[in-house]
């Protein structure tokens, strides 16, 4: 696979040139990047998946929900619907896509909608819902909208400054686009990442003056869950687990379970994978399946031997206070 990526290097140069031209057209105002009166916060990255956008969106919901009427707008990647769809009790994972559906299931007091055209999605939300704030999930590359505040995520194990354009690397946008971010969050760090290492990373990222860089690690729950029960993960000790993942980077979860001493079979599928009947029948033969929450919403109506392990971002140092301070300042300026 790595050899193939190297052989495709000429294509990555063409891709990089296209990205550069597109960003230049927006930066110079030749292509319009529209601002909206409603406050908008963009959560995104420069690479293809694997930085923890959905857990960050959930963190922001929990942080801001007590004060504001929140709507989440996503593209709804790989959904089997088109146009603007507003989540309701009749909505399905196929209509919304796995990540928006996961958020809708978890947070009943907010609005969740999907639309590949973010401008139209914002217009529809303002018209129908009148939110105080719209969270734009995975919208950093969507230059047609100029968000009020942008949060850029980059994974500790694959910082955007060390990456290269697709298909040789994982970058889908220029690393120089990071200058548009108001806040950079380095995710999937070690909980023991030292202050000195944090300073070295900040220097490596060459962040702008007043552009804060925060650090998070994945914190897994002590309980595995499904729609019927919650059980301590430790109660599965001694049982052989089957781990099923359809996410961009399952390695942190694999590492976590191995460190907990679980012998397991790992069945890895592509990100956002919709399981075939044959694959479901095969999974039914397994005694006990652990999966991610994103995969769970695609499988929960098809399997009974299924649990998911919740995960969330935990901030190093006083990062949680800092992001709260940044967002409170932004919202006060907008309202």
Whether residues 291 and 322 fall in one domain? no
Q: What's the mean pLDDT in 2-13? A: 86
In a domain, 96, yes or no: no
| DSSP code of residue 77 | T
The verdict on residue 159 lying in a domain is: yes
Upper half-sphere CA count for residue 153 (Cβ side, 13 Å): 25
What is the radius of gyration, based on Cα positions, of the chain?
20
Q: Are residues 326 and 202 in the same domain?
A: yes
List beta partners, residue 247.
Answer: none
183 inside domain: yes
CB 172 within 8 Å of CB 166: yes
Same-domain check for residues 167 and 264? no
Q: Is 51 annotated as a binding residue?
A: yes
94, part of any domain? no
Whether 97 is covered by a domain: the verdict is no
The predicted-structure confidence for 75-129, as pLDDT tens digits, reads as follows 998 899 999 999 999 999 999 999 999 999 999 999 999 999 999 999 999 999 9
CB atoms within 10 A of CB 234: 11
pLDDT in tens, 261-301: 888 899 999 988 989 999 999 999 999 999 999 999 999 98
Percentage of the chain beyond pLDDT 70 is 100
Q: Judge whether 52 is annotated as a binding position.
A: yes
Confirm or deny that 44 is annotated as ligand binding: no
Residue 233 belongs to some domain of the structure: yes
Do 282 and 231 share a structural domain?
Answer: yes
Question: What confidence tens digit (pLDDT) does each residue in 195-245 have?
Answer: 999 999 999 999 998 899 999 999 999 999 999 999 999 999 888 899 999
Count helices and strands in the chain by DSSP H and E runs:
11, 15
Q: Is 49 within any annotated ligand binding site?
A: yes
Round to whole Å and give the CA distance between 305 and 102.
Answer: 19
pLDDT at 49 over 80: no
Is 162 found in the same domain as 53?
Answer: yes
Residues 306, 299 contacting (CB under 8 angstroms):
yes
CATH of the domain at 176: 3.40.50
Among 255, 247, 134, smallest CA distance to 142 is for 134
Q: What is the pLDDT of residue 334?
A: 86
* pLDDT for 1 beyond 70: no
Residue with the larger pLDDT of the pair 173 and 2: 173
Print the domain residue range for 260.
222-309
Q: Does the residue 83 lie in any domain?
A: no
- Give residue 239's pLDDT: 84
For the chain, strand residue ranges (E) read 40-45, 70-74, 85-86, 111-114, 133-137, 149-155, 183-187, 212-220, 223-225, 230-232, 241-245, 264-268, 289-291, 306-308, 311-315
| 252 and 321 together in one domain | no
Q: Is 154 annotated as a binding residue?
A: no
Cβ neighbours of residue 99 closer than 8 Å, sequence gap 6 or more: 53, 54, 74, 77, 137, 294
Q: Please tell me whether residues 185 and 149 are part of one structural domain.
A: yes
Examine the domain organization and report whether 193 and 139 are in the same domain.
yes
Q: DSSP letters of 32-69?
A: --B--SS-EEEEEESBSS-S-HHHHHHHHHHHHTTTS-
Statement to judge: residues 39 and 62 lie in one domain: yes
Q: What per-residue confidence (pLDDT) applies to 238?
A: 82
Percentage above 90 pLDDT, the chain = 86
**CA 205 centroid distance within chain:** 20
Domain count, the chain: 2
Q: What are phi and psi of 158, to 5 degrees?
A: -155, 65
Distance CA 122, CA 119 (A): 5
Least confident range of 2-16, 173-187, 271-285, 314-328: 2-16
Q: Is 57 a known ligand-binding residue?
A: no
* 106, part of any domain: no
| Confidence check: pLDDT of 173 > 90 | yes
Check whether residue 177 and residue 39 sit in a common domain: yes
Taking the mean position of all CA atoms in its chain, how far away is CA 118? 17
**How far is the C-alpha of 77 from the C-alpha of 100, rounded, in Å?**
9
- Position 164 pLDDT exceeds 90: yes
The two three-digit tokens of residue 220, written as one number? 């897994």
> Do 285 and 326 sit in the same domain of this protein?
no
Domain co-membership, 193 together with 242: no
pLDDT value at position 248?
87
Determine the Cα–Cα distance for residues 207 and 295; give it in Å rounded to an integer: 34
3-state secondary structure of 270: coil
């Amino acid at each position: 696979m790595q050899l193939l990526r190297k052989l495709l290097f000429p294509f990555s140069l063409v891709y990089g040139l296209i990205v550069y031209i597109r960003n230049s057209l927006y930066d110079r105002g030749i292509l319009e990047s529209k601002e909206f009166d409603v406050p908008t916060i963009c959560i995104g990255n420069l690479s293809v998946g694997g930085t923890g956008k959905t857990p960050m969106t959930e963190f922001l919901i929990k942080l801001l929900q007590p004060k504001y009427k929140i709507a989440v707008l996503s593209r709804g990647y790989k959904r089997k619907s088109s146009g603007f769809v507003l989540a309701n009790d009749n909505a399905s994972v196929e209509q919304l896509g796995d990540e928006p559906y996961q958020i809708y299931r978890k947070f009943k007091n907010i609005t969740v909608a999907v639309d590949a055209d973010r401008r139209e999605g914002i217009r529809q939300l303002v018209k129908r819902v009148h939110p105080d704030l719209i969270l734009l999930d995975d919208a950093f590359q969507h230059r047609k909208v100029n968000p009020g505040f942008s949060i850029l995520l980059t994974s500790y194990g694959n910082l955007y400054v060390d990456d290269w354009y697709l298909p040789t690397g994982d970058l889908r946008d220029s690393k120089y686009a990071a200058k548009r971010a108001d806040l950079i969050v380095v995710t999937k760090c070690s909980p023991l990442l030292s202050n000195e290492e944090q300073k070295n990373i900040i220097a490596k990222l060459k962040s702008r003056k007043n552009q804060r860089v925060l650090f998070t690690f994945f914190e897994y729950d002590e309980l595995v869950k499904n729609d019927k029960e919650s059980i301590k993960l430790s109660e599965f000790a001694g049982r052989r687990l089957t781990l099923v993942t359809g996410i961009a980077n399952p390695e942190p979860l694999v590492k976590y379970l191995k460190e907990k001493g679980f012998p397991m079979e790992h069945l890895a599928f592509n990100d956002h994978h919709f399981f075939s009947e044959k694959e479901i029948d095969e999974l039914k033969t397994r005694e006990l399946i652990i999966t991610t929450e994103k995969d769970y919403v695609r499988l929960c109506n098809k399997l009974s031997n299924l649990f998911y392990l919740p995960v969330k971002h935990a901030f190093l140092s006083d990062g949680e206070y800092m992001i709260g301070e940044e967002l409170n300042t932004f919202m006060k300026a907008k309202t």
